[in-house]
Structure 1
């Protein structure tokens, strides 16, 4: 199935799901501290809170590209201090990203998804900022997301 910019826009933000496993070694996975995280995209009005379980967290899969671990291959990566960069190839797309910050307190993510549309490269830029909020509230299961407005999405961890 070909991905398009419209499909990515419709999938990445409203569904807000993505992972980092079979495509990457466990040491390369970006895993947040256990607890409640508030994630705010700079390029979309759809913010959310996610109840993270560190052992099952997959930041890229859960907040950027659903199915990343199964669909994509990390082509290159590097880490310097509190910054991590990667470039990957995915079906009909390329995904590059930079994470900065502390995955126990706060971080930012900047990512570019490149797809071919009618023979031309189109780039979708995504920026997210996330801040640790403390313990998860009662009733919000690990892996569940609470969207702005109150809608709760089921746990992303059911297959982990």
Structure 2
């Protein structure tokens, strides 16, 4: 009996660990479908298009907080249907966000960044909507952003390692 209990635990524990890992992953690594996405901030006229390669995409890192995975620690997160909510601690700021939508069609991402500025607590709200446009056009590399005026920014994926 002792041996079968040990075998059972050896079988079930890795499955539990995988479940917890995948439960912790969605907010940090929201990954859009491969193709061309148009991202529009609610408070700015400067939208952009990004050619997404799903295996390298990091929506929060690519469109909200550069180096999010290296700099920020997720304090809490939860998923309900097509919505994710998270709170994280980043250098000099707290970042709380909510995502709603379909990573193959369209989404809305709202984030509040709370920081101390000149002795006062300031909150900066960012709201982005993303819409899937189809296949990436020829000449736009995966990870590259094409800004509204036509300027193309180099690929965000150059130094990104393949996901675990």
TM-score, normalization: structure 1? 0.83
Offset of residue 27 of structure 1:
4.5
Residue 104 of structure 1 is matched in structure 2 by 104
Offset of residue 118 of structure 1:
1.5
Residue 71 of structure 1 is matched in structure 2 by 71
Residue 120 of structure 1 is matched in structure 2 by 120
> Unpaired segments of 5 or more residues in structure 1?
1-23
CA RMSD, aligned part only? Answer: 1.2
Count of matched residue pairs = 137
Deviations along 1:1-55, one digit per CA (max 9) or x if unpaired, are xxxxxxxxxxxxxxxxxxxxxxx95454100000000000001111000000000
* Larger proportion of helix: 2
* Runs of 4+, deviation exceeding 6 Å: none
**Structure 2 Cα separation of the partners of residues 65 and 58 of structure 1:** 10
TM-score, normalization: structure 2? 0.81
> Unpaired segments of 5 or more residues in structure 2?
1-22
**Structure 2 Cα separation of the partners of residues 132 and 54 of structure 1:** 12
**Structure 1 Cα separation of the partners of residues 93 and 111 of structure 2:** 13
Secondary structure class of the residue paired with 1:70: helix
**If you compute each CA radius of gyration, which structure gives the higher value, 1 or 2?**
2
**Structure 1 Cα separation of the partners of residues 124 and 89 of structure 2:** 15
